[in-house]
Amino acid sequence: MLKWLLVIVVVAGIYYFFIKKKPLKTSTKSTMEEHSSEMVACVTCGTYCSVGDAFIKERRYYCSKECMEAS
């Protein structure tokens, strides 16, 4: 019985230290930087701008307030 318990502990230790995937460390800053560098097209005129610079109205991206008001 003690042998089986020892085998289980060794297998669990190997799994825990070598096989188990470690969670990814994500920060909100890196996520925001990734999204701000993504380019989207304006619904009205088709001009591309970054997500950080775009105006959003009803889940649509616009390059300027003028385009947003024109639609």
pLDDT at 18: 82
pLDDT at 46: 92
Q: pLDDT per residue over 14-38, tens digit each? A: 888 887 766 666 555 555 555 567 8
Going through the chain in order, the beta strands assigned E by DSSP cover 39-41, 48-50, 55-57, 60-62
pLDDT at 1: 85
Q: Pick one of 2.30.30, 3.30.300, 3.40.50, 3.30.60 as the CATH number of 36-71.
A: 3.30.60
Q: Dig out the tokens for 13 from the structure.
A: 């230790």
pLDDT of 13 over the 90 cut: no
Residue 9 sits at φ, ψ, to 5 deg, of: -65, -40
Mean pLDDT to the nearest integer, 8-15: 90
Mean pLDDT for the chain overall: 82
Q: What is the spatial distance between Cα 66 and Cα 71, in angstroms, rounded to a whole number? A: 9
